[in-house]
Amino acid sequence: MKITQEELLEALCKDPEFQNTPECDRKILQPIIEAMPIALKDYLDLPLNFENYEKAQGHFLQYCCQNNLIEPVLDTHTPARYAPENRDEYIKEYKKSIDDWVLEVNSDFFHSLQILSGEMDLTKMCGYFNNELRRLYKAKEVTIGKAILVQPMFFAPGLYPEE
């Protein structure tokens, strides 16, 4: 599957979550979302399930960190416990936490946990799926690429740091 910028921008314009995002955040998020087809090119055809979502999300966040797309998000959503003079330290910590998380997601332990617990239901984890994405997911008719076109913001929650 290939997603063009035109398809992605059209989907973004239809995504109520993006449209309801304050204008200042939309300007920050748009380049990140536009990077999805490039960053996730190896994941677009994979079925949307917990394991693929977690791996794609981790890869996407690493891509955003490596390409300096994450700094504007962190600059506007830095937890109060970090003073402005500690910005570089905070960004370094955030990037390290993403790298650590990706290692965990790709570990044998994580895979074993999935096998033991059975297939985890993303609709329970990701209650923010819109109705169409939820329908496609339950019918097992959705790939990561299709999910991006149905609801581009579904990867965005991982971008915001924890308070």
**Amino acid sitting at position 30:** Q
Q: With a threshold of 0.85, does the pTM exceed it?
A: no
- Give φ, ψ of 68 to 5 degrees: 55, 30
36-74 residue pLDDT tens: 899 999 999 999 887 788 888 888 888 988 898 887 877
pLDDT digits (tens, 9 = 90+) for 85-136: 777 777 788 778 877 777 776 666 555 555 555 555 565 555 678 888 888 8
Q: Is 59 helix (H, G, I), strand (E, B) or coil?
A: helix
Q: Which of 13-17, 32-36, 38-42 has the highest mean pLDDT?
A: 38-42
